[in-house]
């Protein structure tokens, strides 16, 4: 064969092996987050619907939250694909260290200045590329990003009940209508359980197991709704969470941490974010940084103290200006009490993301996912590039890695690799022709 002829043949092969360049339609996507759904919560409860999903789709053994294992920081990493130091949502509470003002979690949900720090959530990026998107109670969905709102957004009200099963099902019906009647492409749907029960009763309780049964029924309802609405072949679903939950340790079993035993807040601290589980920050008074650090450094065996500049890089939190000069992590189950022990939670999170109790679930099913596929654990940050690939959206610069997640897909290649394979083929054929 003449080498020119071969070259033409190979080149045409390359072109034909690039279906991405053809106009392709993408399936719709539903992201569901159950707040505080620890990775193993389905293992001591009868969950026929979740079990069925394992056969119908892909499951990760567990996934890793980002280093601040709290609702807003973690949800915002999932929807932006950015580390906490980049997206700037460093806590559930919004705060101002000069005025001392603190806004509780639900109060932040309509404060654009808290969320809009340069990292664009998927809703906005997808919208700018022509898709129709919605947030149903998902944290960060209720504000504007560079002046742009999510096309449709429902925001949790102050006193919204977390565990109303009737409402849970109604919300699924609503989302189904958005897809079928209004042709939405992407919806992020949030549920406040099992977090609420985990805090109030503790993770190892009958009440927690009961809410997992309720979630399982809701997932059964979702699967039926998808079939009834003829979305089975057109809708991919990802079910995940933001962090796990652990049992709070109390005296007299342990010596609880009470920080004013070791330092005077009045004399040393300008501002502090404490009494909120295992993660906290202190803004020392001018010139008092070393004094605070020295006072706390070896104060309690279950307390870890970092100066901002010595926070390990792999936490990916230190670079943000909202991270205060002194950062505290308590060991699993310990609360960071400041002055008095008022703390009533029986379960909590906010502890190191290395702890198994902080890991969460990941399930996915739909036309683009393999069936009966068990994935190795990965960082939740890699859900973002997966969602972009599923929707055919060009991702913003992000810290996720599609190679963590694409093994779950039926089409687990990507454009880059396809071209590489074609080039290798070309070179091999040319060489074999020369020989
Ligand atoms: C804190 O509040 C002050 C006074 O209102 C304001 O000038 C400042 O910009 C605020 N700081 C932050 C970080 O929001
Ligand atoms: C978002 O922008 C719109 C239009 O400017 C405005 O009406 C709305 O109040 C803004 N929302 C928030 C949460 O700031
Ligand atoms: C639960 O939700 C349904 C539907 O929205 C509502 O009719 C009912 O009053 C709610 N129940 C409670 C206890 O809030
Ligand atoms: C706080 O500072 C004052 C004035 O320097 C001092 O008298 C007091 O002992 C300090 N309090 C504590 C608890 O260190
Ligand atoms: C995360 O991604 C952003 C955007 O590409 C980049 O600027 C930043 O350096 C990345 N962070 C790390 C730790 O790689
Ligand atoms: Zn919580």
* Catalytic residue list contains 174: no
Q: Which two tokens stand for residue 342?
A: 């008022």
CA-based Rg of the chain, rounded to a whole angstrom? 24
pLDDT at 422 over 70: no
Closest CA to 91 of 66, 56, 121: 66
225: buried, middle or exposed (CB in 10 Å: 19+, 13-18, 0-12)?
middle
pTM score: 0.91
**Average pLDDT of 392-416?**
90
Report whether residue 160 contacts ligand 3, using a CB cutoff of 6 Å: no
**Using an 8 Å Cβ cutoff, are 219 and 53 in contact?**
yes
Q: Taking residues 32-58, what's their average pLDDT?
A: 97
Q: Tell me which residue of 260, 263, 262, 255 sits closest to 334, measured CA to CA.
A: 255
Tell me the pLDDT band of 428, cut-offs 50, 70 and 90.
low
- Probe target for ligand 3 pocket from 165, 167, 193, 196, with the most ligand atoms within 8 Å of CB: 167
Strand partners, 409: 369
Residue minimizing CA distance to atom 11 of ligand 5: 399
Residue 206 structure tokens:
């009958």
Structure confidence at residue 414 as a pLDDT band (50, 70, 90): low
Q: What topology does CATH give the domain 257-344?
A: Gyrase A; domain 2 (3.30.1360)
Which of 89, 96, 101 for a ligand 1 pocket mutation test, highest count of atoms within 8 Å of Cβ? 96
Extents of the domains making up the chain: 28-245+353-408, 257-344
Say whether 76 sits in a helix, a strand or coil: helix
Specify the ligand 3 atom closest to the Cα of 164.
1
User: Is the CB–ligand 4 distance for residue 264 below 6 Å?
Assistant: yes
Helix (H, G, I), strand (E, B) or coil at 306: strand
Q: How many CA atoms lie within 13 A of 125 on its CB side?
A: 21
Quick check: CB of 433 below 6 Å from ligand 2? no
Does residue 144 line the site of ligand 2, with CB under 6 A?
Answer: yes
Cα(112) to centroid(ligand 6), Å: 22
Exposed/middle/buried for residue 253 (C-beta within 10 Å: 0-12, 13-18, 19+): exposed
| 3-class DSSP assignment, residue 327 | strand
CA distances from 384 to 66, 123, 304 (A): 13, 11, 31
What percentage of the chain has pLDDT greater than the value 70?
A: 89
CB within 6 Å of ligand 5 — which residues? Answer: 83, 86, 316, 397-399
Q: How many CB atoms lie within 10 A of CB 302?
A: 16
Ligand showing the shortest atom-to-Cα distance for residue 147: 2
CB 364 within 8 Å of CB 57:
yes
Tell whether the model's pLDDT for residue 211 goes beyond 60: yes
Instruction: Give CATH superfamily name and number for 28-245+353-408.
Output: Alkaline Phosphatase, subunit A (3.40.720.10)
By alpha-carbon position, which residue is closest to atom 7 of ligand 1? 98
Bridge partners, residue 58, by sequence: 364, 373
- On the question of pLDDT at 417 being above 70, the answer is no
Let me know: does 309 contact 82? Beta carbons within 8 Å.
no
Contact assessment for residue 295 and residue 244, using Cβ atoms and an 8 Å cutoff: no
């Amino acid at each position: 064969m003449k080498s020119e002829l071969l070259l033409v043949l190979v080149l045409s092969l390359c072109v034909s092996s690039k279906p991405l360049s053809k106009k392709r339609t993408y399936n719709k996507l539903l992201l569901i987050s159950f707040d505080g759904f620890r990775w193993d919560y389905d293992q001591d409860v009868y969950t026929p619907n979740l079990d069925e999903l394992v056969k119908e789709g892909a499951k990760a053994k567990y996934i890793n939250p980002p280093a601040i294992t709290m609702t807003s920081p973690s949800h915002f990493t999932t929807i932006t694909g950015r580390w906490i130091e980049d997206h700037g949502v460093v806590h559930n509470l919004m705060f101002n260290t000069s005025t001392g003002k603190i806004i509780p979690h639900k109060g932040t949900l309509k404060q654009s200045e808290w969320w809009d720090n340069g990292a664009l959530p998927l809703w906005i990026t997808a919208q700018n590329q022509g898709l129709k998107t919605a947030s149903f109670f998902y944290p960060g969905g209720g504000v504007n990003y560079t002046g742009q709102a999510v096309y449709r957004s429902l925001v949790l009200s102050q006193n919204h009940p977390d565990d109303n099963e009737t409402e849970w099902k109604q919300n699924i019906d609503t989302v189904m209508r958005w897809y079928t009647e209004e042709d939405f492409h992407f919806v992020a749907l949030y549920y406040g359980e099992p977090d609420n029960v985990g805090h109030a009763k503790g993770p190892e309780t009958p009440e927690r197991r009961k809410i997992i049964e309720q979630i399982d029924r809701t997932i059964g309802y979702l699967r039926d709704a998808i079939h009834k609405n003829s979305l089975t072949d057109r809708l991919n679903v990802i079910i995940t969470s933001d962090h796990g939950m652990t049992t709070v340790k109390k005296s007299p079993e342990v010596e609880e941490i009470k920080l004013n035993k070791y330092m005077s807040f009045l004399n040393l601290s300008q501002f502090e974010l404490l009494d909120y589980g295992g993660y906290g920050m202190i803004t020392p008074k001018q010139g008092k940084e070393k004094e605070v650090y020295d006072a706390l450094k070896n104060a309690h065996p279950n307390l870890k103290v970092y100066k901002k500049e010595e926070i390990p890089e792999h936490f990916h939190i230190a670079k943000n200006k909202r991270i205060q000069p002194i950062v505290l992590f308590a060991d699993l189950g310990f609360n960071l009490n400041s002055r008095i022990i008022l703390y009533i939670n029986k379960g909590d999170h906010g502890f190191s993301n290395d702890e198994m109790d902080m890991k969460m679930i990941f399930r996915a099913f739909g036309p683009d996912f393999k069936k009966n596929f068990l994935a190795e654990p990965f960082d939740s940050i890699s859900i973002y590039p997966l969602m972009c690939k599923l929707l055919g959206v060009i991702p913003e610069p992000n810290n996720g890695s599609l190679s963590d997640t694409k093994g779950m897909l039926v089409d687990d290649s990507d454009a880059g690799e396809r071209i590489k394979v074609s080039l290798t083929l070309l070179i091999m054929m040319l060489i074999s022709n020369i020989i």
